[in-house]
């Protein structure tokens, strides 16, 4: 099965690059189109800048990161730390999925550390099925298939046991470069909780690599609900 379109949905700008940037780079190498979406605009991601300025800066960073693998970036524009599963947001995510028409969706797991990540996971899981419903109307027409949804690893792998691995050794520099576009987040996260997102990403990639017999890997789990399951591999 040739994957033609991939949709990666994160809660905040930078989540997708961290969780599955290597896998997205490999999909692009295989000729698939890639769309990176963030549900929120990341407005609370800076102490120094105003929220409006933060949104602008983070959009530019996300566009640059997507540009590195010639992917498209879309923000659904919700407020950071204010993502809830309600009817309006369900419709927004359904419309996103219908608009992109992906063969595969990548998103957060339901056990990651941030409430927005967990709600994004829920929104995508639900929307990926309802996107086929003729009676749930949004701007784009319904899908005729239910796209499989893969959950990407949790931050530092806490409470996540991957069942499929992708060897990202060959594209690690691309992944690093994508993450480094999110410059505004480095001082912010370091100051907040001592996180060095680049170092943490490499620690996890090395662990997942050791677990799967390669140098560096990303780990995933399939959202196992009918009819999301396929008999063949969809990850690179
Ligand atoms: Zn996030």
pTM > 0.95: yes or no: yes
104-107, strands of its sheet edge to edge: 72-78, 33-40, 5-10, 104-107, 149-152, 217-222, 164-167
Q: What pLDDT shows up at residue 185? A: 85
Q: Assess whether pLDDT exceeds 90 at residue 186.
A: no
pLDDT in tens, 139-174: 999 999 999 999 999 999 999 999 999 999 999 999
pLDDT in tens, 8-32: 999 999 999 999 999 999 999 999 9
Centre of ligand 1 to C-alpha 15, Å, is: 5
| 3-class DSSP state of 126 | helix
Tell me, what CATH number does 39's domain have?
A: 3.40.50.10320
Q: What pLDDT shows up at residue 97? A: 98
Q: Which residues span the domain enclosing 207? A: 5-222
CA-nearest of 65, 73, 87 to 181 is: 65
Q: Per the structure, how many domains does the chain have?
A: 1
The reply to whether 103 falls in a domain is yes
Centre of ligand 1 to C-alpha 16, Å, is: 8
The reply to whether 164 falls in a domain is yes
pLDDT in tens, 197-222: 899 999 999 999 999 999 999 999 99
The reply to whether 236 falls in a domain is no
The reply to whether 108 falls in a domain is yes
The total number of residues shown for the chain amounts to 236
Centre of ligand 1 to C-alpha 91, Å, is: 21
Q: What residues are paired with 105 via a beta bridge?
A: 7, 149
Centre of ligand 1 to C-alpha 76, Å, is: 14
Q: What pLDDT shows up at residue 98? A: 98
Task: Give dist(CA 147, CA 76) in Å, integer.
Answer: 20
Q: What pLDDT shows up at residue 177? A: 97
The reply to whether 230 falls in a domain is no
Centre of ligand 1 to C-alpha 13, Å, is: 7
Count of CB atoms situated within 10 Å of the CB of 146: 17
pLDDT in tens, 60-112: 999 999 999 999 999 999 999 999 999 999 999 999 999 999 999 999 999 99
Centre of ligand 1 to C-alpha 114, Å, is: 7
The reply to whether 229 falls in a domain is no
Count of CB atoms situated within 10 Å of the CB of 212: 17
The reply to whether 216 falls in a domain is yes
For all residues of the chain together, what is the average pLDDT? 96
Q: Is the peptide bond before 112 cis (omega within 30 degrees of 0)?
A: no
Centre of ligand 1 to C-alpha 81, Å, is: 9
The reply to whether 70 falls in a domain is yes
Higher pLDDT among residues 83 and 188, named by residue: 83
Q: How far is CA 47 from the centre of its chain?
A: 24
47 falls in which pLDDT band (50, 70, 90)? confident
């Amino acid at each position: 099965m040739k994957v033609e379109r991939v949709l990666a949905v994160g809660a905040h700008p930078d989540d997708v690059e961290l969780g599955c940037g290597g896998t997205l780079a490999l999909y692009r190498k295989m000729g698939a189109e890639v769309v990176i979406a963030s549900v929120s605009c990341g407005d609370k991601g800076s102490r120094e800048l105003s929220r409006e300025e933060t949104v602008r800066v983070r959009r530019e960073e996300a566009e640059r990161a997507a540009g590195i693998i010639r992917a498209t970036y879309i923000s659904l524009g919700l407020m950071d730390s204010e993502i809830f599963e309600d009817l309006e947001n369900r419709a927004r995510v359904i419309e996103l999925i219908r608009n992109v028409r992906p063969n595969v969706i990548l998103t957060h797991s339901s056990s990651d550390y941030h409430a927005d990540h967990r709600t994004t996971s829920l929104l995508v899981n639900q929307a990926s099925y309802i996107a086929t419903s003729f009676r749930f109307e949004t701007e784009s027409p319904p899908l005729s298939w239910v796209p499989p949804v893969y959950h990407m690893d949790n931050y530092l792998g806490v409470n996540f046991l991957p069942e499929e691995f992708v060897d990202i050794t060959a594209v690690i520099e691309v992944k690093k470069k994508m993450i480094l576009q999110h410059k505004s987040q480095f001082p912010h996260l370091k100051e907040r909780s001592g996180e060095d997102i680049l170092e943490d990403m490499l620690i996890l990639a090395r662990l997942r690599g050791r677990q799967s017999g390669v140098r560096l890997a990303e780990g995933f789990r399939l959202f196992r609900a009918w009819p999301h399951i396929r008999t063949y591999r969809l990850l690179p």
